[in-house]
Structure 1
Amino acid sequence: MTDWKEYKVSDLLDSKSLAIGDGYRAKNSELSNTGLPFARAGNINEGFDFANADCFPVEDISKVGEKVSRVGDIVFTSKGTVGRFAYVDESALRFVYSPQLCYWRSLNKKWIHPRFLFYWMQGKEFYSQVDAVKGQTDMADYVSLSDQRRMKITLPPLPEQQAIAEVLSSLDDKIDLLHRQNETLEALAETLFRQWFVEEAAESWESGIVTDLVDLNPRRSLSKETVAPYLEMSNLSNELYHPHDWYDRIFTSGTKFINGDTLLARITPCLENGKTAYVDFLKAGEVGWGSTEFIVMRTREPLHPFFSYILARHSDFRNFAIGCMVGSSGRQRADVDNLATYEMKLPPPDVIKRFNKHIEPSLQKMKLNNDQIRTLTRLRDALLPKLMSGEMRVDTAEAETAIAS
């Protein structure tokens, strides 16, 4: 690591090798339904999700100056939930930065490799400097532009920056590919559900309610003081079935679940945001637990267990669940007794058999992908600090990556 050199960020800014900026302070009257996405912190988390973002009109884009994304930018949430990142690659939509975000932009790519900069910002040197300043006010965590400009950064020669970036980005690319495969498979499953159980539901099908097909909050047993897998609400995805993470924790009180259960967030705004999960990450016979704000849904046989998950994602069912919410403003929860009255057509055996046949291979593939995602993510997270500190050489990291892949 003798050829790594520490720089003051301010010197890199002065030499026009690096730019750091924050977002445009837009008035509500300036935003629109069309134009470039107006990116806020909620749109950023290891990527971009602009599905519900406001837009900034293209005809007014001259107002924002440099506060428009460029390929190679590293996006950093600097207010509230500090420390989420995204990299602007060629596939990303062009967007306008809001004041909740900052960007770091390499202006001299012969000196600072953008991808290396992205990974450096997720490493110990950057995090330690962020931690030292983010809690200095009585308000929510905040890292100002002045704080960032006073930081220091350690850089190896450009060839090593590039080699490190290639190792880590190859893992991220594989993870992203597996995620996209799962998005496609899950979308196909939702399409089958909508076609077979909604659009093509025959008048001759028996009418019923959701509890004819799904048990709500079935009893599960887990003794106090037992160490068991714990799932936080924050680790449920808004779009996909697999949770982001879980960990072992001593059971006290909470919702209990087993493999094959669906977890539906019942509290605002988690329900409206789409937080839902299908449990397939436990060991055989294992019972997990989590937030008391989960509704557990268990499909009745002979329907495939994944049916309850797809039902929970179905817009009509979710809107009904939102309509079942009771309680004071800001702490409303879906009432399970009301949810149990959701009316639906009951599919005949031949449709159930056809659905089960199509779903099982897709679910097996998604499970395999998720297991690989978890392995690759752990490897990336283990390699990143070692590569960024110079503790591990690139050739060693490449060998470990090849084994995992």
Structure 2
Amino acid sequence: MSINFPNKPDNWKVSEFRRIAELRHGYQFRNYDFTSEGIKIFKITQIKGNATVDISSCSYIDPDRLKKFEGFRINKGDILMALTGATIGKIARYTENETILQNYRVGNFFPLDEDVFSKDYLYHFLRSKNFYNQILAGQTQSAQQNIGKEDINKMSILVPPIKEQKSIASILSALDDKIELNLQMNKTLEEMAMAIYKHWFVDFGPFQDGEFVDSELGEIPKGWEVKNIKEIAEVNSKSISKNSKIDIIEYIDIASVGEGLVENIQPILLSEAPSRARRIISDGDIVWSTVRPNRKSRFLALGFNNRTIVSTGFAVTSPKTVPYSFLYPFTCTENFVDYLVSRATGSSYPAVTGKIFEEAKLVVPTQNILEKYNEIAEPLYLQFSKNNMENQTLTQLRDTLLPKLISGEVRVKDAEKTLSEVL
């Protein structure tokens, strides 16, 4: 598939994919191959929309069969792509050390000669809109969208000199590494915050020497109360008016939210926004998807601008008499998730209502204990928010630089200058 590269530098070449790289399909495992545990199988569902891999919920095969499928083992650093379905063209790099096998509709990409074509550069080129647009043009027009080896082989790749390839990959990888570091830091911060919450308000660790009394939720420290969320917070109390003077909003829909993480924010004219773009969020709000609560699509709103609007598919809970550092981790507990899941209705898209959130009950300590706890917990969430905001900036910069570096519109020296100002 020959295409034009209008910004191509004179010393860069255009090559058909087949001449410089190879796509390898995985093995077509069948349902009867799978076991309840063993060696994991990497399917297209393991590739997430933010170029990450999640192998926490894989299918398995018997470990005794590993030798038979050695040719389909995925190694650390491999470049993987979904070749079918709604996530077609989504790319991720495998960064784990765990043994895992490649399923058929997952593509694995390799340069034919790394002295000519860098694997790191290949990864970033495959992530570019340039390549994704070729995928969209070449996919089969069937009920289930597919792209295959023959289609990929005909696609065009822009090939700079190897030294420049490595420099381009280094710049983009530096941004990816910083984003990943922030994500890992946030995972640690969230784990710390949750551990403190559980120690104080689930196990009652600091209060074991005090007097306990019976309650509808079991024994609790004397002076504490059982309340429902409605008594300490407001749910879905803020909506944007159709007559608002705001022109452009920052819109977040359910598909853009993971477990504790906003993956995408879409700037859009309010006049052109979908009718579900109505819920206003403010600092300290707890935003939870009401659809399929088992997926735990939620986040704590900190650091967003006052034009940020979320879908009516979210329940937005605004703490009033307790700090968000207390209420948010409560909504992250497995007990709360189970509470939502058990009350969800609907077969295809099980969902709950805002009323379900309001009726959830929890143990609320005295005000002085809340204040002492907040002094410890709030800084963790503020650092979490700072890392998230930085990641949004870094992601925007990477997504801006990627197509321009890959096409030659922006040269390495200029990109390195920009990078030095940010990192």
Same topology, TM > 0.5 = yes
Instruction: Please give the per-residue CA displacement for 1:69-103, whole angstroms capped at 9, x wherever unaligned.
Output: 123321111111112111234x4433212233111
Aligned-pair CA distance for 1:154: 2.4
Q: Which secondary structure does the structure 1 equivalent of 2:45 belong to? A: helix
- Aligned pairs for 1:177-192 (under 5 A) are 177-192=181-196
Alignment match, 2:280: 257
Which whole-Å CA distance do the structure 1 matches of 2:125 and 2:300 have between them?
A: 34
Kindly indicate whether residue 100 of structure 2 is the aligned counterpart of residue 95 of structure 1: yes
Aligned-pair CA distance for 1:67: 2.1
- Indicate how the Cα distance of structure 1 residues 11 and 163 shifts in structure 2: closer, same or farther if over 3 A, else same: same
Aligned-pair CA distance for 1:221: 4.6
Which whole-Å CA distance do the structure 2 matches of 1:393 and 1:339 have between them?
A: 52
**Does the aligned pair in 1 maintain the 2:227–2:361 contact within 8 Å?**
yes
Identify the match of residue 344 of structure 2 among 316, 325, 336. Answer: 325
Between stretches 305-314 and 241-250, larger displacement belongs to: 241-250
Which whole-Å CA distance do the structure 2 matches of 1:373 and 1:219 have between them?
A: 27
Aligned-pair CA distance for 1:300: 2.1
Aligned-pair CA distance for 1:255: 4.2
Alignment match, 2:11: 3
- Indicate how the Cα distance of structure 1 residues 155 and 94 shifts in structure 2: closer, same or farther if over 3 A, else same: farther
- Aligned pairs for 1:310-321 (under 5 A) are 310-321=329-340
**Does the aligned pair in 2 maintain the 1:41–1:77 contact within 8 Å?**
yes
Instruction: Please give the per-residue CA displacement for 1:354-392, whole angstroms capped at 9, x wherever unaligned.
Output: 221112211221222122111211111121112111222
Aligned-pair CA distance for 1:331: 2.9
Which whole-Å CA distance do the structure 1 matches of 2:129 and 2:350 have between them?
A: 40
- Indicate how the Cα distance of structure 1 residues 311 and 321 shifts in structure 2: closer, same or farther if over 3 A, else same: same
Which whole-Å CA distance do the structure 1 matches of 2:262 and 2:174 have between them?
A: 22
Q: TM-score, normalization: structure 2? A: 0.86
- Indicate how the Cα distance of structure 1 residues 187 and 382 shifts in structure 2: closer, same or farther if over 3 A, else same: same
Which whole-Å CA distance do the structure 1 matches of 2:38 and 2:22 have between them?
A: 25
- Indicate how the Cα distance of structure 1 residues 243 and 305 shifts in structure 2: closer, same or farther if over 3 A, else same: farther
Which whole-Å CA distance do the structure 2 matches of 1:378 and 1:331 have between them?
A: 32
Q: TM-score, normalization: structure 1? A: 0.89
Which whole-Å CA distance do the structure 2 matches of 1:152 and 1:173 have between them?
A: 28
Which whole-Å CA distance do the structure 2 matches of 1:155 and 1:274 have between them?
A: 42
Alignment match, 2:416: 398
**Does the aligned pair in 2 maintain the 1:32–1:57 contact within 8 Å?**
yes
Which whole-Å CA distance do the structure 2 matches of 1:203 and 1:361 have between them?
A: 26
**Does the aligned pair in 2 maintain the 1:196–1:351 contact within 8 Å?**
no
Alignment match, 1:386: 404
Alignment match, 2:394: 376
Which whole-Å CA distance do the structure 2 matches of 1:35 and 1:42 have between them?
A: 18
**Does the aligned pair in 2 maintain the 1:23–1:102 contact within 8 Å?**
yes
Q: Which secondary structure does the structure 1 equivalent of 2:318 belong to? A: strand
Instruction: Please give the per-residue CA displacement for 1:154-180, whole angstroms capped at 9, x wherever unaligned.
Output: 212221111111111111111111111
Kindly indicate whether residue 118 of structure 2 is the aligned counterpart of residue 113 of structure 1: yes
Between stretches 390-399 and 1-10, larger displacement belongs to: 1-10
**Does the aligned pair in 1 maintain the 2:251–2:277 contact within 8 Å?**
no
**Does the aligned pair in 1 maintain the 2:240–2:278 contact within 8 Å?**
no
Percent identity reads 23
Identify the match of residue 231 of structure 1 among 227, 235, 252. Answer: 252
Which whole-Å CA distance do the structure 2 matches of 1:275 and 1:99 have between them?
A: 29
Q: Which secondary structure does the structure 2 equivalent of 1:120 belong to? A: helix
Kindly indicate whether residue 90 of structure 2 is the aligned counterpart of residue 84 of structure 1: yes
Which whole-Å CA distance do the structure 1 matches of 2:324 and 2:381 have between them?
A: 10
Which whole-Å CA distance do the structure 1 matches of 2:402 and 2:263 have between them?
A: 23
The letter of the residue matching 2:62 is P
Pairwise CA RMSD: 2.2
Alignment match, 1:297: 317
**Does the aligned pair in 2 maintain the 1:256–1:287 contact within 8 Å?**
no
Between stretches 222-231 and 192-201, larger displacement belongs to: 222-231
Instruction: Please give the per-residue CA displacement for 1:229-252, whole angstroms capped at 9, x wherever unaligned.
Output: 2211111112x2445324233154
Kindly indicate whether residue 31 of structure 2 is the aligned counterpart of residue 25 of structure 1: no
Q: Which secondary structure does the structure 2 equivalent of 1:297 belong to? A: strand
After the TM superposition, list the runs of 4 or more consecutive aligned residues in structure 1 that deviate by more than 6 angstroms: none
Kindly indicate whether residue 295 of structure 2 is the aligned counterpart of residue 273 of structure 1: yes
Q: Which secondary structure does the structure 2 equivalent of 1:332 belong to? A: coil
Alignment match, 1:15: none
**Does the aligned pair in 1 maintain the 2:290–2:314 contact within 8 Å?**
yes
**Does the aligned pair in 2 maintain the 1:73–1:106 contact within 8 Å?**
no
The letter of the residue matching 1:54 is S
- Indicate how the Cα distance of structure 1 residues 372 and 237 shifts in structure 2: closer, same or farther if over 3 A, else same: same
The letter of the residue matching 2:332 is R
Alignment match, 2:63: 58
- Indicate how the Cα distance of structure 1 residues 330 and 287 shifts in structure 2: closer, same or farther if over 3 A, else same: same
- Indicate how the Cα distance of structure 1 residues 53 and 214 shifts in structure 2: closer, same or farther if over 3 A, else same: farther
The letter of the residue matching 1:114 is K
